[in-house]
Amino acid sequence: MVGNATVIDLGIGNTSSVCNLLTRIGMPWSKSREPVEASGFYFLPGVGAFDVGMEALHASGWAKTLSSLNPSQTVVGICLGMQLLCEGSEEGTSQGLGLLPGKLQKFRFDDAPEQAKLKVPHMGWNTVRPLQQKLGWLDEAVAEEDSRFYFVHSYFYPLNSHPEVELGATRHGAEFVSVVGSANVFGFQFHPEKSHHYGSLLMRRILENFFVA
């Protein structure tokens, strides 16, 4: 892989962990608050509230850049970053970027029977089940013995709402979509940068498959 990946810094926290992971797997990167149009690969990490994230995307100009990527440019959203790529969320009133179909819903266990009440946010390690046949870059990392990924979120992408972009599922109560993607836009609900070897492997594979320098 030659060239740089661009890590989008919205100023709402936590970009260093992603940069550190890229360093560990030998991928050159640069981090930018200002929109960069010529990059082959973008990472959109994010922690925090949906509306705050959308506001930061618009104010910085990144919303416009990400909405006009050409097919050889790939963007991967992580956690809130994944949610911002979708059409919207129950968490806020802002419209999402809409690069992927679907809206996020809040985990609700209020009406569940006592023994089925789970905690919100869904926080901790969990597994990912591939939903599509033979998705080489995803299969390897999620199929490893003891494979697990670190999740922290209160809103989820509902399963079977847009099967064409649903790539991986995770269970918290019911199953939800933890990996989304289509063509050159992907999202991970978990944090690959906090998921040890399994996250590194996944990031390495998605870069190998989609990075066009």
Partner 1 sequence: MKTKRFADPRYIGDPINAVRILNDKRVDELFLLDITATVNKAEPNLDFLEEVVSEASMPVCFGGGISGVDTASRLFSIGIEKVSIQSAAIANPSLIEKMANRFGSQAVVFSIDLRQDWRGNWQPREKEALRFRKDRWQHLVSRAVECGAGEVLVTNVDREGTRSGLDVELISEIARVTNVPIVVQGGVGSMTDVRAGLNAGADAIAAGAFFVFHGPHDAVLITYPRPEELKLLRSFDRQCSSK
Q: List residues binding partner 1 (CB under 8 A).
A: 11, 13-17, 20-21, 24, 47-49, 52, 115, 117, 119, 121, 123-125, 146, 150, 152-154, 191, 193-197, 199-200
Instruction: Give the residue with the Cβ less far from partner 1, 88 or 199.
Output: 199
Q: Report how far residue 147's alpha carbon sits from residue 179's, in angstroms, rounded to the nearest whole number.
A: 15
| Choice among 122, 153, 172, 191 that is catalytic | 191
| Choice among 19, 34, 79, 164 that is catalytic | 79
CB contact at 8 A, 67 and 26? no
Q: Report how far residue 82's alpha carbon sits from residue 79's, in angstroms, rounded to the nearest whole number.
A: 5
Active-site residue, 122 included: no
Q: 99: closest CA among 132, 130, 131, 63? A: 63
Cross-strand bridge partners of residue 168: 130, 179
Active-site residue, 193 included: yes
Smallest gap from residue 155 Cβ to partner 1 (A): 10
Instruction: Give the residue with the Cβ less far from partner 1, 168 or 192.
Output: 192
Q: How far lies 117's CA from each of 15, 111, 169, 177, 180, in Å? A: 33, 8, 20, 20, 26
Instruction: Give the residue with the Cβ less far from partner 1, 64 or 106.
Output: 106
Instruction: Give the residue with the Cβ less far from partner 1, 91 or 166.
Output: 91
Which residues belong to the active site?
Answer: 79, 191, 193
